[in-house]
Amino acid sequence: MASGTVLLLLLLLCLAGRSSSQTDAPPPGCGADVGRPYRALCDLEAAWGVVLEALAGGGALACLLVGGVLLGRLHTVAEPEKRGTAPPLLLLLVGLLGLFGLSFAYLIEKDEPLCLARRALWGVLFALCFSCLLAQGWRLRRLARQDGRAPGGWALTGLVLALTAVQVIIAAEWLLLTVVREGQPACRYMPLDFALVCSYVVVLLVAALGASALALCGKERRWRCHAVWLFVSCLLSVLLWAAWLVFYLYGNEALGRALGRQADWDEPVLAAALVSQGWLLLLFHVVPEAHFCLRPAPRPSPTDYFDTSHPPPRLRETSFDEDLPLAHRPFMENQAFSFDEHSAALRAGGFRNGNPAFRPTVPFRSSVYQPTEMAIVLNGGTIPSAPPNYTGRQLW
């Protein structure tokens, strides 16, 4: 209820200063050349106009600044998931800029052209903003799926414009029926009629709240933070709309009965609602989304080969003799055969024709070159103690 408290404080400022602006003399802060319709912009006694003017001007400047930064650094964003959020975000900035600008229309004394602009732009600008929120909720819902793909920027832009066009038709029909056909003054309309025209905007806001809630239930935790900011923005907007609708529909009657006279504070209520809604969406949705969109992707950290906090896994010393049964180990049998052959050669070569003489033609086993297993592996041969199909590691 923080938004309702802020709105109530603004309305109290409005009511405190309305009585001082009824005289023809220029109020403090306004010069003699300032016309009566524009005195609310400079009246220091009626502080509500100055406060709302400052907040609206600061919000419009912040929208221009964020939009310029987003457009200037959009070429550095390479991920398509991040680039997809830029078109709805830019359209939302346009809508917020319109809300802050429209609030000045409620600070000026009303006339027929100004009332037409109020009635025509109020619902359209809010529909544009809430359509952007709904498009963002649909996008996050698609991204939150495990294998979901985000819709493109052009698809989101078309969705936002199509949803906004419905409110354009509703506002145009309301003006045609009441002003053109029936001939009523543009500044004379029932508050209930104004609230009913905004019913489609309320439907868009509730749909955006539901889409953000569904995005929170997704499997991908990467986009859950985006969904949280969107859900908070939609929830605070619902509370704000409930507050200003109650004040707008029933506040005049309750205040008139309390003061004993007819109260007229419709314009401060609507101006405060415009400024509050603009700052709410700017702080809770536009700024976080712009930050996430322009934030560079984290670079993968290089492998630290000198990090001894985790010891490397021990390599198993492979021994082919351990994997083979004794029946398939010819190396030990060859050694036994070499000893037998050596003994037999000594016995057979001891005598020749009855004369003891040395037999030089019989080679000893130890004098014959026998390559080691490592030499056989390096030369691409077979290892006697290895399986028959093992040929060693081919290094060349």
DSSP 193-216: HHHHHTHHHHHHHHHHHHHHHHHH
Distance CA(270)–CA(250), nearest Å, equals: 14
Distance CA(223)–CA(363), nearest Å, equals: 81
Is the distance from CB of 21 to CB of 40 less than 8 angstroms? yes
* Residue of 250, 233, 237, 244 whose CA lies nearest to 270: 244
Distance CA(18)–CA(269), nearest Å, equals: 13
pLDDT for residue 213? 92
DSSP string, 145-209: SSS--PPPHHHHHHHHHHHHHHHHHHHHHHHIIIIIIS---TT---HHHHHHHTHHHHHHHHHHH
- Residue type present at position 197: V
pLDDT for residue 181? 85
Question: Three-class SS of residue 92?
Answer: helix
On the 0-12 / 13-18 / 19+ scale of CB atoms within 10 A, 133 is buried
pLDDT for residue 106? 86
- Alpha helices, H only, 26-111: 47-72, 80-83, 86-103
pLDDT for residue 256? 62
* pLDDT by residue, tens only, the chain of 396 residues: 444 444 444 444 444 444 334 445 776 667 676 766 676 677 776 677 788 888 999 999 999 999 999 999 888 877 877 788 889 999 999 999 999 999 988 888 888 888 899 999 999 999 999 999 999 999 988 887 756 677 888 899 999 999 999 999 999 999 999 888 888 888 888 888 889 999 999 999 999 999 999 988 877 777 888 899 999 999 999 999 999 898 888 876 776 666 555 556 667 888 899 999 999 999 999 999 998 888 776 665 555 555 555 555 554 444 544 544 545 444 444 444 444 555 554 455 444 445 554 445 444 445 555 566 666 666 665 555 555 565 554 444
Distance CA(2)–CA(316), nearest Å, equals: 66
Distance CA(324)–CA(304), nearest Å, equals: 39
pLDDT for residue 308? 56
The DSSP bridge partners found for residue 351 are 356
* Residue of 25, 55, 53, 57 whose CA lies nearest to 40: 53
For the whole model, what pTM was predicted?
0.69
Q: Map tokens 């709309």 to a residue.
A: 241
Distance CA(67)–CA(86), nearest Å, equals: 10
Per DSSP, 298 falls in state P
The DSSP bridge partners found for residue 356 are 351
Distance CA(380)–CA(396), nearest Å, equals: 9
pLDDT for residue 23? 45
pLDDT for residue 150? 76
Distance CA(137)–CA(244), nearest Å, equals: 25
pLDDT for residue 151? 82
- Residue type present at position 383: I
Q: How far is CA 300 from CA 40, 75, 149, 221, in A?
A: 57, 22, 24, 19
Q: Chain centroid to CA 233: how far?
A: 13
